[in-house]
Structure 1
Amino acid sequence: MHIDLGEDRPGRLEADVAIVGSGVAGLTLARRLIEGGRSVLLLESGGLDYEAATADLNRGFSVGEDYYPLEDSRLRFVGGTTAIWGGRVAEFDAIDFERREWVPHSGWPFGLEALAGYYRDARTLLDLPADAPDPLPSLLDQVDGPEVERREWLIDPQFDRFGHEAQRALFEHPRLTLVTHATVREIRCADDGGRIVGLDVVSPSGERVEVVAHDYVVAAGGLENPRLLLASNSVKPAGLGNDHDLVGRFFMEHPHGRGGHMVASGKRLWSLIEAFQKQSIGHYESASLVRPSDALQRERRVLNSALALAVRPAAGSRQPLLTSAYLAAKHRLDPTKRGRSAWRLYKSAGRVIRHNVGPLMWWLRHRRGNELALVLRAEQAPNPDSRVTLNRDELDATGMPRAVLDWRMTPLDRVSAAELVHAFGRRIEALDLGKVMPEPWLDDPARDWVSDPLVSVHPLGGYHHMGTTRMADDPRQGVTDGFGRVHGLPNLWVAGSSLFPTGGWANPTLTIIALALRQADRLLGRL
């Protein structure tokens, strides 16, 4: 059933579980719970497509490292930000879950083995092989060694997988009620502070709707999850789950940057370019990257970052005219269904060119004066001073304080990227494949991180908001336990990448799905 609060006036809604947010975490939870016999209310602040008025609720303030405008950094409509997701799928590595004594605040409440089966289920949900296939042979097989290792992304073959049309069968299930234009203004706590008793939901016209459930799950993303918990302060002045001032802290991204460039020629250059291009495997694609080995991370006391090679304009040069035009058009287009269709057309055209022209296109671009750049997608160390807070003097249309993002990096982030670039360079030279020329900022202790708009269409980071309601067995170290249940509130849960204690190099979506499946099984009493 679908209720649109822009038109309907239900007054009160009830279910076994109420989920705030219809992105990948909320949808995954809802599906698993209804399959297990529970009734679910799925509350979405937006409608079935992008609306400027609803998007304005995302507007906030960025006061730390340069970041994207907050109103553009996530989407409010059914399917959430997955509507413009690039489809990259990868597991976290085992070391990502470990407590690394050289990485302050690292360590998950469980190891990779706890998610192994759920990763299989998550890939199956994305129409990918349950077990990640072996990578296609390439020159990177030689690069894989004691200091650097080859890894793969799989690419989800379906655009807009989590949108309303694609999920229609789910929304028609008799135990699921999708409620759109339903903005949760506050999570209401009992007077004794011991449990949640309801949600204060507001419609676009300002009318209130009461939502009552047995369990409540906040699955609104790494910025909105802490914002909602902090704003729910009628009973607990510091906000829910914030007895130890942890809600909103430890904000992490995957910062992007230029690590340097490769000098090579002839057949070797061609093979290197080809090794990092997307490759077709049946109905989906894969793409390669290089990460530091576990041994190197332990020896050099660094983070688990990643790099790939791509032909890019040289550092300090101008953006190519066609790329500039694409970026300008992309920023002018709202992410409506029409705008997303244009983006999909661009992506599809790129796929056709790759399949028919292959590395020749990149070789020709390199001949025109570009360079073979090292594109960094880095792990960021958890930092309690990198955080989301509220500006209580600036309220949105529902009366909720706007978010303030203070994104901060640490020297370890830069040092880790430098060690990866240097290790990759040593391996390349040992194989006589060329020479790596690192960017000077990597070894400059006066810098924490340097972004480069020429190296990626997302130059600052991956739009990956992680860590702001982190998991930990000890309430003094985290907001939730290892299943996402908020400490001290037995019927309040959090889902999504805000749970991540560390971020690894891998895109978060597959782990979000795996965690949501595990959390649903806990709610169903299976774990």
Structure 2
Amino acid sequence: MRVGTDEAAIVIVGSGAGGGTLAERLVAAGKNVVMLEAGERIEAGDWFQDDLKAFAQLSWLDSRVASGSYLAARVAPTMPAWIVKAVGGSTLHWNGLAYRPQAHELRARTVYGVVDGASLVDWPVSLEELEPWYGRAERRMGVTGTHGIAPHPPSSSFKVLRAAAERCGYRRVSNAHIAINSAPRDGRPACLQMGFCNQGCKINAKWSTLAADIPRAEASGRLDLRTGAQAVHIELDRRGRVEAIIYRDREGGEHRQRVAWLFLACNAIETARLLLLSESPAFPDGLANTHGHVGRHYMRHINALAFARMPGPVNMHRGIVTPGTIFDEDGHDPARGFAGGYLMEAVAMAPISLAMLIGGNDWGKDFTDFMASYDHLAGMLMNGEEMPRPGNRITLDAAVRDRFGLPVANVHVDEHPYSDVMRAHFRRRAGELYSSLGADAIRFGIPPSATHNLGTARMSRLPRDGVTDAFGRSHEVPNLLIGDGSLFPTSTAENPTLTIVALALRQADYFLRELA
């Protein structure tokens, strides 16, 4: 189905966890939807299982600028985030960890109190209110360990993590809550435990909107998916409602699509950038930005890596990339010297990626010997709650332009002091865990480019504190809704995809019930 550009349409920008879920729900309810996706359609059979080729094939490689004191500004100044530019968005390369947040994390301002240098607010919705949509999200994504869906067999990598946890007194360890089929489900096969699937699952055992939601939406005949379509400006009518969206095609041609309702789900960086590019007399500082929150409070999660050489073979590359997690450090314990908590996630990496992330400036014999023992290595990723800060923000860069002549996103981050304290705590714990099993060498690293981008158009109870209400509807523009990680008032310690999908399902229900 093709919607005419002069026909006022429901338009969704972005096809990832938020946009793809919204599209499927709306067309299932009989609505016609136009979806604008900046990337191309790349099917699973065409993906490379080689890190460097896959990175070039799937990644958003358009220019961006990293500034501030954080690592990306020093070592990856043009690559502050690693996200996908293709149909399905970053659900193509996510690792499938689908965890619900904790109740206290949605009340961070109340529970943590005033944190110097942070801009904490409580979420305008509680975990209890969100639980029905988490259940629906888990069922549609096939999250193991929920709703009777069996977990995967434990991989060697997870067995190392579990054994170390038991020796060190940790009690909450699991290889469940992963959105990768443990048995055939939803027309997709079971995982074959092939490994090296950070670039995407070649058989679509891992849930993605490309594998599940978008094909269902297309089968309805009501989805008009336009690829190579980069949204560049949002126009308002005299009433202050969105009237049209301007986008460029892959050849640079300009198009104008009339809008009845607009949903932005193009990642926290590009959603903020598009709002800032859409200035007008009514919004001289960017669309829906009267209170100055668009682009601010940017969060990525606090990350760190630990890899250890174990006494015997581990072969971490065989099986799911992130096959399980220790949850014992996820609570809020101010005695540790920071607010919030973190997860300790078993992780595998291909040799080239591992070398780049833990090599640093040390490329001598100790490092080459460590890498030569690749089959004996076990790895762990810290995923920690990051404090929102008003100065950590997306702005329009004054010097660098994209191929359409528009200013690119400048991603500025000065990390809160808690970040280094949390990383140091993780390193101590990771060292104790691996040493308990006889590891004879441990190396650490920090991923410079973010894969979780959050918080640049946050939800709030009051317009003065954020950009949207609890359903992602703009406080200021009545037919504008946001449906991606931009909505997060705080990052929580948990991976964000399940929450993005749950919020999108809730938003779709709200739209169909109250607005449409």
Bin of the TM-score, shorter chain as denominator length: 0.7 to 0.9
Relative to structure 1, is the Cα distance of residues 169 and 408 closer, same or farther in structure 2, using a 3 angstrom cutoff? same
Summarize deviations over 1:234-279 as a string: whole Å, max 9, x none: 33210012112111111111232257979xx98xx99xx89x9998
Q: Using the alignment, how far apart are the partners of 1:416 and 1:366 within structure 2?
A: 30
Alignment of 1:56-135 (within 5 A): 58-64=62-68, 65-67=70-72, 68=76, 69-70=78-79, 73-99=82-108, 100-103=112-115, 104=118, 105-129=120-144, 130-131=146-147
Paired residue for 1:7? Answer: none
Cα drift, residue 143 of structure 1? 6.8
Does the 8 Å contact 2:235/2:243 carry over to 1?
yes
Given residue 290 of structure 1, which amino acid in structure 2 is its aligned partner? F
Q: 1:232 and 2:278 equivalent? A: yes
Does the 8 Å contact 1:170/1:176 carry over to 2?
yes
TM-score, scaled to structure 2: 0.73
Given residue 79 of structure 1, which amino acid in structure 2 is its aligned partner? G
Cα drift, residue 47 of structure 1? 2.4
Cα drift, residue 465 of structure 1? 0.7
Does the 8 Å contact 2:24/2:216 carry over to 1?
no
Paired residue for 1:447? Answer: none
Does the 8 Å contact 1:154/1:286 carry over to 2?
no
Paired residue for 1:340? Answer: none
Paired residue for 1:157? Answer: 180
Relative to structure 1, is the Cα distance of residues 174 and 375 closer, same or farther in structure 2, using a 3 angstrom cutoff? closer
Cα drift, residue 409 of structure 1? 0.8
One of 394, 410, 417 as aligned partner of 1:411? 417
Does the 8 Å contact 2:355/2:371 carry over to 1?
no
Q: Using the alignment, how far apart are the partners of 1:165 and 1:299 within structure 2?
A: 42
Relative to structure 1, is the Cα distance of residues 53 and 185 closer, same or farther in structure 2, using a 3 angstrom cutoff? farther
Does the 8 Å contact 1:261/1:436 carry over to 2?
yes
Given residue 487 of structure 2, which amino acid in structure 1 is its aligned partner? L
Cα drift, residue 485 of structure 1? 1.0
Relative to structure 1, is the Cα distance of residues 258 and 490 closer, same or farther in structure 2, using a 3 angstrom cutoff? same
Q: 1:12 and 2:6 equivalent? A: yes
Given residue 58 of structure 1, which amino acid in structure 2 is its aligned partner? D
Paired residue for 2:453? Answer: 465
Does the 8 Å contact 1:255/1:461 carry over to 2?
no
Q: 1:306 and 2:343 equivalent? A: yes
Q: Using the alignment, how far apart are the partners of 2:58 and 2:429 within structure 1?
A: 47
Paired residue for 2:324? Answer: 287
Relative to structure 1, is the Cα distance of residues 222 and 325 closer, same or farther in structure 2, using a 3 angstrom cutoff? closer
TM-score, scaled to structure 1: 0.72
Structure 2 unmatched runs, 5+ = 48-54, 182-200, 357-369
Relative to structure 1, is the Cα distance of residues 437 and 131 closer, same or farther in structure 2, using a 3 angstrom cutoff? farther
Q: Using the alignment, how far apart are the partners of 1:60 and 1:285 within structure 2?
A: 28
Relative to structure 1, is the Cα distance of residues 433 and 504 closer, same or farther in structure 2, using a 3 angstrom cutoff? same
Relative to structure 1, is the Cα distance of residues 295 and 385 closer, same or farther in structure 2, using a 3 angstrom cutoff? closer
Relative to structure 1, is the Cα distance of residues 227 and 110 closer, same or farther in structure 2, using a 3 angstrom cutoff? same
One of 228, 232, 247 as aligned partner of 2:294? 247
Summarize deviations over 1:466-518 as a string: whole Å, max 9, x none: 11111111222211111111111111111111111111222111111011101
Given residue 384 of structure 1, which amino acid in structure 2 is its aligned partner? P
Given residue 46 of structure 1, which amino acid in structure 2 is its aligned partner? G
Cα drift, residue 404 of structure 1? 0.6
Q: 1:478 and 2:466 equivalent? A: yes
Alignment of 1:18-417 (within 5 A): 18-49=11-42, 58-64=62-68, 65-67=70-72, 68=76, 69-70=78-79, 73-99=82-108, 100-103=112-115, 104=118, 105-129=120-144, 130-131=146-147, 139=163, 142=166, 149-150=172-173, 154-157=177-180, 159=201, 161-162=207-208, 164=210, 167-191=214-238, 194-235=240-281, 236-258=283-305, 286-292=323-329, 294=331, 296=333, 302-308=339-345, 323-324=351-352, 375-417=381-423
RMSD (CA atoms): 4.2
Q: How many corresponding residue pairs? A: 446
Stretch of structure 1 that moved more, 299-308 or 467-476: 299-308
Cα drift, residue 12 of structure 1? 3.0
Paired residue for 2:191? Answer: none
Summarize deviations over 1:115-146 as a string: whole Å, max 9, x none: 2111111111222354487988954785797x
Does the 8 Å contact 2:168/2:436 carry over to 1?
no
